[in-house]
A and B are shown apart, each in its own frame.
Chain A
Amino acid sequence: MIYGAISGGLYALLALGFTLIYGVSGLVNLAHGSFYMLGTYMFVFFGTFGFFVPDPMLASILALIVAVIVVGAVASITYRLTIHPVIGDEVAVLVVTVCLAIIFQQLMLLWFGASFPRVSWPAGSVLLESTSIMGVTLEYSRIFAFVFSLVLFASLLVFVTKTKIGKAMRAVSQDREVAMLMGINTERLYMLTMFLSAVLAALAGILITTSIEKFAGPWLWLQPLALSFSIVILGGLGSIKGSLLGGFIIAFAEKTVEIMVPEGGGIVGVVPLAVIIVVLIVRPKGLFGKRVEMEE
C-alpha cells in the first residue's frame, strides 16, 4: 500500500506535465515520455560532471537542477522549431511528436550506447538508507521522492491558480482567441508550458529512476508514455486534480495486481491500460473530464 502511494505521487507528477500541455494548447505530446528519458540521462551525465563541489550529495542535487532545466530548454526549443509549424493539425502533431521521440531515443543511443546506466543517488548519502514505517521497510529515497512530488504538486496548484502566468494559462485553455485579444502572448505561453511540462516529466523521471527503477535506458520512454496516457485519460484530459487521483488509482491497481497475480511479472504493465479501457467504457470523458477547460 505504501509503495503504491509513493509511486502514485510520482506517476501523477509524470501525468501532470502531459495534462498541462494538453490543457493549454490542445497538444497530444507523444514525446512526453522521451522527456522523462532525457531527464534521467541528463541526470546521469551531469552527475558524473561533478560541478567542482566536494559533497557528492550536493553535486547530485545540482545535477538534478541543471538536468531538469536543460530538458526544459530542449523541449521548448524543439517545440518552437518542430511542433509550432504544424500545430492545429492533429495528425501532423502526432507524426511530429513521434518523430521527436524516436530522434531523442536514437540520440541517446548514439551518445550513451545501448547500455542501461545505473541511476541512483551517490554512495554514502542518507537517501540510500532505509527505515521502517508500520512494519514496511522504506528507503529514504522513496520517501524523499514522495514528499518532493507532493510539494511540487501543491506549488503547481498555487502557481496555476494564483500567479499571473497561471491565470494566463487557464485563460488560454478556456478560449485561445479571446485570451489573445486580452493581450496574452500565446506563443510565449505555449513555450513556457512546454518548458514546465518537460521539467515535470524530467523530474518525475529522475525521481522514479532513483527510487524505484534504478536504471535508465534509451527505450524507457514508451512505458512512461503509456502510463501518463492512462493516468491522464483516467483523470480526464486537462484536469490537474484528475491526474493526481488517476496517478494514485493506477499505482494502487498495479500494486494490487502485483500481489494478487504472483506469476505475472509482465502483466503489470498492462494494468494501467486495462483500467483505462474499463473506465472509458463506463465514463467516456474520464473521471474528472470536462470539455476543454482546466479546472483550478
Chain B
Amino acid sequence: MVIGHLRRAYSSFAAHVFDIPPRLMAFLFLMILLLVPATGLGPYYLSIVIYANVVAILAASWDLLVGRTGQISLGHAIFFGIGGYSSALLFKYYALPIWVTIPIAVVIGSLAALLLGFPCLRVKGPYLALVTMAFPLIISSAVNWSPVVDISGGEFGIRGLPGFFPFLPILQQRAAEYYLTLVLLFVSSVLIYKTANSKTGIVFMSILDDELASKACGINVTRYKLLSFMISGLFGTLAGCVQAHLLKVANPPMFELTISFLPIIVTFLGGIGTIYGPIVGAYIYAILDRYVLTDLLPRILRDNFQVMFLPSGYNFAKLLVFTLIVLILVIKWPRGVSRFTTDKLEDLEEARDLDERGPRIWKRYKKRKSSTAT
C-alpha cells in the first residue's frame, strides 16, 4: 500500500517535471548533440556518430514512406546507391565540386524515385515489398555487368571522391563532418516532420489507415503515393551521397540488401512512424554495432581477461550478437524503444487526466495489437 502511494506520488511528480513541450525537448536534444565533439572524442568515435547521422537520415526517409504512408519498401538501398553513384559519376566525368554534385544527385534521386514509383505503386502490400526489394538487386548486378564496368568501376566502384573538408587536420575534419551531417539530419528531420504534419502528411496518414476509404473521399491516392515516394527518395539519396563522400568511394555494396534492411531495423528499434524514432534507433545501432561490439568489448576482454587475440570467428559472432539483440528488442518492444519511453510519459499524462496531445498515428496499430492479444 505504501508502495502504491509512493508510486502515485512519483508519477504525479514525474508528470509535472517531465512535462516539457516537444519543441523544447527537440531543442535540448539538438544542444546535446551539438556538444558531442566538445567532449574530446577521438576521430574514430566521431566517425561512429557521423555514421549514425547518415543512417538516421536514411531511416527517416524510409519512415516517411513506410511509417507514415504505409507503402512497405524493402529496397531503400536503391536511393542510397543512386545518390552515391550519381554524385560520384558527376565528379568523375564533369569534375564538379562537392557542393554542386550533391544537389544534382538529390534531384536525380527524386526523379528516379518518381520513375520507380510508377511500376511499384501498381502493386500493394507484400507484392510491393517484394518488388521494391528487386530493384537494388537489379542495379547492383547491372553495375557489375561487363559493358558498363568502365563507367561504373565494376566491383571496386568509383574511388577517390573528394572529402568534405580536405583542408582541415583529421580531428577538425571529423568534427566539421559531424556538424555537417548533424545539420543535414536536423534539416531533413524537420522537413519530414513538417511534411508529415501538413495537409499532405494527413493525406499520407489516411492512405496508411485505409487506402480504399481515402480513395472514396476523392483523394488521388496514386499521386500522393508518388509524392511520398519522391520525398522519401530525395532524403534517401541525400544520405547516399553524403556517405559516398565521407567514405570517398561509391561501390556496389551501397545497393546491397543489408543497406535496405538497415533503415528497417533502425526505425523499428527507435519506433516506427515517429520523428525521433529513426534518430534514436540510428544512434542505438551505431553505438551498439560500432562501439560496444567493435571497440568496447574487445578492450574489456583484453584488459580484464588477457585475451590478446580475438578468435577468428569474432567478427562473425559480432553480427550474430547484434542481430540477436535486435531480435529480442523487436519481440520485447514491438513498438520501438523511443515509443516505449514516450508511452511511459503519455501514461503519466493520462494519470493527470489530461487530454491526449498531438496526432496519435499508431492508434490503429495499438488497437490491432490489443485485439490480437485477446
Q: Does A127 contact B (CB under 8 A)?
A: no
A233 to B371 CA separation, bound complex (whole angstroms): 30
Q: Does B365 contact A (CB under 8 A)?
A: yes
Task: Assess the A226–B320 pair: CB atoms within 8 A.
Answer: no
Beyond A92-B330, A266-B141, A277-B134, 13 additional contacts (C-beta under 8 Å) are: A82-B327, A87-B372, A89-B334, A89-B368, A95-B265, A98-B265, A99-B265, A99-B326, A106-B316, A110-B313, A233-B131, A263-B146, A267-B145
B: number of interface residues (CB 8 Å) = 46
Chain B residue nearest in CB terms to A87: B372
Which B residues lie within 8 Å of A107 (CB)? 320
Using known A-B contacts A233-B131, A237-B126, determine if residue A102 contacts B368 with beta carbons closer than 8 Å: no
Q: Does B5 contact A (CB under 8 A)?
A: no
Which B residues lie within 8 Å of A86 (CB)? 330-331, 334
Which B residues lie within 8 Å of A90 (CB)? 72, 125-126, 129
Which B residues lie within 8 Å of A28 (CB)? 126, 129-130
Interface string of A78-117 (1 = CB under 8 A from B): 0000100111111110111011101100110110000000
Interface string of A210-225 (1 = CB under 8 A from B): 0000000000001000
Number of interchain pairs (Cβ within 8 Å): 129
Interface string of B127-139 (1 = CB under 8 A from A): 1011101110110
Which A residues lie within 8 Å of B330 (CB)? 86, 92, 95-96, 99
A59 to B267 CA separation, bound complex (whole angstroms): 48
Task: Assess the B323–A273 pair: CB atoms within 8 A.
Answer: no
Size range of the chain A interface in the assembly: 35 or more
Q: Could you list some 21 contacts between A and B, CB below 8 A?
A: A22-B126, A28-B129, A85-B331, A85-B334, A86-B330, A91-B66, A91-B264, A94-B264, A106-B323, A107-B320, A110-B313, A230-B130, A232-B130, A233-B127, A264-B146, A267-B142, A267-B145, A270-B137, A273-B137, A281-B122, A284-B127
User: Most chain-A CB neighbours within 10 Å: which of B134, B146, B369?
Assistant: B134
Task: Assess the B320–A270 pair: CB atoms within 8 A.
Answer: no
Task: Assess the A94–B134 pair: CB atoms within 8 A.
Answer: no
Using known A-B contacts A229-B133, A270-B138, determine if residue A96 contacts B145 with beta carbons closer than 8 Å: no
A195 to B257 CA separation, bound complex (whole angstroms): 26
Task: Assess the A106–B319 pair: CB atoms within 8 A.
Answer: yes
Task: Assess the B327–A88 pair: CB atoms within 8 A.
Answer: no
Partner among B130, B131, B141 whose Cβ is within 8 Å of the Cβ of A267:
B141
Task: Assess the B261–A98 pair: CB atoms within 8 A.
Answer: yes
Task: Assess the A280–B126 pair: CB atoms within 8 A.
Answer: no
Which 3 A-B residue pairs are closest in the complex by CB-CB distance? A106-B320, A273-B134, A109-B316
A109 to B313 CA separation, bound complex (whole angstroms): 8
Interface string of B314-326 (1 = CB under 8 A from A): 0011011001101
| Chain A residues close to B by CB (< 8 Å) | 22, 28, 82, 85-92, 94-96, 98-100, 102-103, 106-107, 109-110, 222, 226, 229-230, 232-233, 237, 263-264, 266-267, 269-270, 273-274, 276-277, 280-281, 284-286
Task: Assess the A94–B74 pair: CB atoms within 8 A.
Answer: yes
Task: Assess the B141–A270 pair: CB atoms within 8 A.
Answer: yes
A28 to B316 CA separation, bound complex (whole angstroms): 26
A233 to B129 CA separation, bound complex (whole angstroms): 11
Which A residues lie within 8 Å of B283 (CB)? none
Using known A-B contacts A110-B320, A230-B134, determine if residue A92 contacts B268 with beta carbons closer than 8 Å: yes
A276 to B138 CA separation, bound complex (whole angstroms): 11
Using known A-B contacts A263-B147, A269-B137, determine if residue A277 contacts B72 with beta carbons closer than 8 Å: no
Q: In the assembled complex, how far is the CB of residue B53 from the closest CB belonging to chain A, in whole angstroms?
A: 22
Q: Does B119 contact A (CB under 8 A)?
A: yes
Q: Does B123 contact A (CB under 8 A)?
A: yes
Task: Assess the A280–B272 pair: CB atoms within 8 A.
Answer: no
Which A residues lie within 8 Å of B316 (CB)? 106, 109-110
A87 to B330 CA separation, bound complex (whole angstroms): 12
Q: Does B144 contact A (CB under 8 A)?
A: yes
Task: Assess the B130–A229 pair: CB atoms within 8 A.
Answer: yes
Which B residues lie within 8 Å of A233 (CB)? 127, 130-131
Q: In the assembled complex, how far is the CB of residue B324 from the closest CB belonging to chain A, in whole angstroms?
A: 6
Which A residues lie within 8 Å of B257 (CB)? 222
User: Most chain-B CB neighbours within 10 Å: which of A22, A86, A91, A270?
Assistant: A91
Which B residues lie within 8 Å of A237 (CB)? 126-127
Which B residues lie within 8 Å of A264 (CB)? 145-146
Interface string of B112-127 (1 = CB under 8 A from A): 0000000100111111
Task: Assess the A273–B129 pair: CB atoms within 8 A.
Answer: no
